[in-house]
Structure 1
Amino acid sequence: MTAEWPVRWPLTLTEDRLLLRPLHRRDQRAWEEVRRVNAEWLAPWEATSPTGEPPSTFREYVRALERQAREGRALPFVMELDGLLAGQLTVSSITRGSFCSATIGYWVDRRAAGRGVVPTAVAMACDFCWFEAGLHRIEINIRPENGPSLRVVEKLGFRDEGLRRRLLHIQGDWRDHRSFALTAEEVPGGLLRRWRAAGGGLR
């Protein structure tokens, strides 16, 4: 942690029955099972390596996430609903200084989809980034074909900033994404509060 990065890791955020917390090595069995069950559901949206690098082991993956969090480069959370692992949300590409910006990415267990988990988690993470971590702008990039994720940013009121050509490597090729963003000034009372006021929440 540096003087300009006030976040102490590990960090846990809670809202109703939803918990955002670090991924632990003891999560391996549950994490691998959720990933196995959702492999087909997630494949069209997840970034891949253009060089075909082999995947890291679970232990290496957890260690890498912890290192990024300690260095202030990311805030990697597990989404836990009613005590069960329901997906992940990561605040990544954290840039401070005159930019003070970050990107949010996530995946959710199909069995938890449509229950308000992702918009609630995104709102929680955004509020923390704006009001506790001192960031200014949060960006989410979504493939144009990803209807469920497009509904998330629509529900939360993110601005559509346009199409970014061949932005991320997914399933063997570089894929276009639409970029959405919000700044702290646009949601002075907090995104979670606005989401609740619009009738949003967990179901």
Structure 2
Amino acid sequence: MTANETVAAETRRAALAAALAESAAGDRQAFRRVYDLTAAKLFGICLRICGERQAAEDVLQEVYLIVWRRAATYRADRSHPVTWLATIARNRALDWRRSPRGRAFVPVPAGGTDETVDDTPRADQALVATEDGQRLDHCLEELDERPRHAIRAAFLDGLTYADIAGRVGVPLPTMKSIIRRALLRLRECLNHDA
């Protein structure tokens, strides 16, 4: 990243953090700025996890209601504003996937749609570009292929353990064990590299 790109990224971060702080005080114009700066990215997260456009739109609306109510809880010294917002979107979308309506939905296979939501890097891709992200990526690569794919599917793609188990054809308890052991190995690797 060039110096100009770094300055531009920090300017966007500061603008978004300021808009969140103003939203916490009830400023509707500031909340509109939060929406304008983040809607495409958060919609992409919701769509990727929900798998259907209407559900993603509904979940996104709930996400912004949560953001409006909880804007005062955001702490700029603890996380990037996009990370905080993306976490809310991911968790809400996963809640939808785990609901009876979400479990009844059959996702379109990868490549089954031409719909493009957002060409900019996802929040998780931006994190991988940081030093911590690079360490995590290194530790993920140290895992065997099966646990590595399971971790990526669960924590980056937003799939449930049951979804992953079904995709690879193993019982749910086996998949839980694979992911648990992989998380322990990741923690050990990250602590060793620190």
TM-score with structure 1 setting the length: 0.32
TM-score with structure 2 setting the length: 0.33
Mark the structure with the bigger radius of gyration.
2
> Which structure's residues are more often strand, by fraction?
1
> Which structure's residues are more often helix, by fraction?
2
